[in-house]
Amino acid sequence: MSALPELKDAALTLDERVAVLTFKRDDVRNALTGTELTSDIVAALAWANASPDASVLILTGEGSAFSAGGNIKTMGERAKAPPHVLQQNYRRGIQRIPLALQEAEIPVLAAVNGPAIGAGFDLANMCDIRIGSTNAQFGETFVNLGIIAGDGGAWFLQRLLGYQRAAELTFTGRIVKAEEAKQLGILLEVTAPDALLPRARELAARIAAKPPLAVRYAKRLLKLAQQQPLAEHLDVCASFQALCHKTEDHAEALTAFFEKRQGKFKGC
């Protein structure tokens, strides 16, 4: 098994091909600024891409919040820097998260245990699947503080919900609770708080039980399909399918199907 990266403000575990990254800065409600969580998230994603042992990554928060986004208590002090310094701070700081998640090769599941506000909401939206507990809340609240989503939140939110709903949430900065979040399509499921992580692991395990290379290729196709013309996308599909046909896991999947048993996949 590949060695886990050393993290400062988060903990990473791996069990049965399911990795769990837990934010451990409940003292600041798992804020992404003023902590090492941004670097930890980026490091965990880089590890997952390179690790043949990981098939799914779950993101969740320890304590009362998933992530409060930016640390409001330090926001005023950070804003004293000149504009060009602020711009570079975003590019070298929190903007590394959307770029890393966009390049993630394995499915990323957000298990939203509590409020996901501002950049915390955007972080959840960058994931492939979101489930939340009844304590989950969401808010694209930047406008309430006279700022905008500097982490690319506008790009992700309208792709998830469509322009009109993204505009309403962005312009009002209102808070959406768990049940409404499910109705809007932010959440796939809502669970009791103590059932959240078990349910996330259950869903992740179903994905992890599939041929690992096929899952990675499927993830890449879903991302590419968001930006490619159909003809170009079909050409990539043909190439990826040709590679899949030559894997040992494909042969094992066929054998398991005819033998009416679960496949035993190796990721090769």
User: How does pLDDT run across 130-157, given as a tens digit for each residue?
Assistant: 999 999 999 999 999 999 999 999 999 9
* 34 φ/ψ sector (left φ>0, alpha ψ -120 to 50, else beta): left
Q: How far apart are alpha carbons 233 and 225 in whole angstroms?
A: 6
The 3 state secondary structure assigned to 88-153 is: HHHHHCCCHHHHHHHCCCCCEEEEECCEEECHHHHHHHHCCEEEEECCCEEECCHHHHCCCCCCCH
Token pair recorded at residue 177: 């609770």
| Terminal-to-terminal C-alpha distance of the chain | 15
pLDDT above 70: percentage of residues in the chain: 100
Partners of residue 189 on adjacent β-strands: 131
**Which amino acid does the sequence have at 29?**
R
- Mean local confidence (pLDDT), 226-231: 96
Name which CATH class applies to 212-258: mainly alpha
Q: How far apart are alpha carbons 9 and 31 in whole angstroms?
A: 10
Looking at residue 267, its pLDDT comes to 87
Phi then psi for residue 174, to 5 deg, are -80, 160
User: What is the length of the chain?
Assistant: 268
At 234-257, the pLDDT tens digits run 999 999 999 999 999 999 999 999
Q: How far apart are alpha carbons 161 and 76 in whole angstroms?
A: 31
Q: Where are the domains of the chain?
A: 10-208, 212-258
Using only the alpha carbons of the chain, give its radius of gyration. Answer: 19
Q: Is 237 helix (H, G, I), strand (E, B) or coil?
A: helix
Residue in the structure block whose two tokens are 């590949």? 2
Query: Which homologous superfamily does the CATH classification assign to the domain defined by 10-208?
Result: 2-enoyl-CoA Hydratase; Chain A, domain 1 (3.90.226.10)
Q: Give the β-pairing of 137-139 and 56-61.
A: unpaired
State the burial class of residue 39 (Cβ atoms within 10 Å of its Cβ: 0-12, 13-18, 19+): middle
Q: How far apart are alpha carbons 54 and 215 in whole angstroms?
A: 11
Q: How far apart are alpha carbons 202 and 197 in whole angstroms?
A: 8
Exposure b/e, 194-204, CB count within 10 A at least 16 = b: eebbebbbebb
At 186-226, the pLDDT tens digits run 999 999 999 999 999 999 999 999 999 999 999 999 999 99
**Which amino acid does the sequence have at 99?**
L
Residue 80 banded pLDDT, cuts 50, 70, 90 = confident
Looking at residue 1, its pLDDT comes to 64
DSSP state letter for 63: S
